[in-house]
């Protein structure tokens, strides 16, 4: 008997924004332009046939190359977990330059800038490559890419801030409701509400 199974979600949640563009490999000054959470996602466990239900988050970055061309690249879909060994914890630590603070809403990182290294990764089916994030770190204090040899190496077309920028505008949970996008003691809160609308797209 054939039984319909609920599909296991996979793929890039920002595919519609990235389109067919292949971001160039290299290191650039990039901006966090979007963060998307997914709750109750079914996926296959690592090195197992077992299916688990998890909460995931994905970061989308935007940057300009040396010629001023706009590019977008996303992180992997990461399990929302405050465990120090989790992918999300390490990702935020790299972005911030220090361990993330428990209970703080990581949606507030929308609009922040960082130094982002892009690599080209071979697709599993052998049909070409896609752009992935190899490393990220805060923009160095006092760094200015314009007219410097370091800036030419980074390929940045716009001036970077002295430090990691705060958000362009407040982006948080719906008033009076608990935050959905914070790191707890290692467990996410399934079913928590999504944030209020972010408003205009963040420029980069």
Share of residues in the chain with pLDDT > 90 (%): 53
Contact yes or no for 131/119 (Cβ under 8 A): yes
pLDDT number for residue 10: 56
Decide: 44 and 27 in contact? Cβ < 8 Å: no
Q: Are strands 51-64 and 26-44 parallel, antiparallel or unpaired?
A: antiparallel
Flag whether the pTM goes above 0.85: no
Among 32-36, 101-105, 177-181, the range scoring the smallest mean pLDDT is: 177-181
Q: Is 23:71 a contact under the CB 8 Å cutoff?
A: yes
Over range 131-140, report the average pLDDT.
94
Alpha-carbon radius of gyration of the chain? 18
DSSP state of 49: S
Tell me, what's the pLDDT at 140?
Answer: 87
Q: How far apart are CA 26 and CA 41, in angstroms?
A: 32
Please determine, for residue 191, whether its predicted confidence score (pLDDT) is greater than 70.
no
Of residues 196 and 124, which shows the higher confidence score?
Answer: 124
Pair of tokens at residue 7: 């599909």
119 neighbors 132 (Cβ within 8 angstroms): yes
pLDDT digits (tens, 9 = 90+) for 47-106: 888 999 999 999 999 999 999 999 999 999 999 999 999 999 999 999 999 999 998 899
- Residues 86, 90, 94: CA angle, nearest 5 degrees: 170
Which pLDDT belongs to residue 160? 36
Q: What does the alpha-carbon distance between residue 194 and residue 204 come to, in Å, rounded to a whole number?
A: 24
Beta carbons within 8 Å of 135's beta carbon, 6+ residues apart:
94, 116, 117
- For residues 130 and 139, the answer to whether their CB atoms sit within 8 Å is no
Least confident piece of the model among 71-75, 84-88, 137-141, 168-172: 168-172
Q: Running DSSP on this structure, what letter comes out for residue 45? A: P
- Residue 129, strand partner residues: 122
And the tokens for 43?
């996926």
Q: Is the pLDDT of residue 146 over 70?
A: no
DSSP state of 197: P
pLDDT at 154 over 50: no
Split at pLDDT 50, 70, 90, the class of 141 is confident
Q: What confidence score (pLDDT) does residue 119 get?
A: 96
Give residue 135's pLDDT.
95
What are the residues whose beta carbons fall under 8 Å from the beta carbon of 46, sequence distance 6 or more? none
Tell me what the mean pLDDT of segment 105-129 comes to. 92
């Amino acid at each position: 008997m054939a039984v319909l199974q609920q599909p296991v979600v996979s793929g890039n949640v920002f595919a519609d924004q990235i389109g067919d563009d292949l971001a160039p490999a290299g290191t650039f000054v990039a901006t966090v332009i979007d963060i998307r959470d997914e709750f109750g996602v079914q996926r296959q466990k690592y090195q197992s046939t077992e299916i688990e239900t998890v909460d995931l988050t994905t970061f989308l970055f935007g940057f300009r190359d040396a010629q001023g061309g706009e590019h977008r690249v996303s992180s992997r879909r990461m399990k929302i977990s405050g465990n120090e060994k989790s992918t999300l914890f390490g990702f935020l630590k790299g972005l911030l330059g220090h361990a993330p603070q428990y209970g703080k809403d990581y949606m507030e990182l929308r609009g922040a800038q960082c130094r982002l290294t892009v690599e080209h990764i071979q697709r599993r089916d052998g049909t070409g490559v896609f752009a992935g994030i190899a490393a990220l770190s805060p923009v160095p204090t006092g760094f200015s890419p314009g007219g410097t040899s370091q800036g030419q190496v980074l390929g940045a077309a716009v001036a970077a801030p002295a430090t990691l920028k705060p958000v362009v505008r407040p982006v948080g949970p719906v008033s009076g409701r608990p935050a959905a996008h914070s790191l707890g003691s290692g467990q996410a809160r399934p079913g928590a509400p999504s944030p209020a609308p972010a408003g205009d797209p963040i420029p980069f």
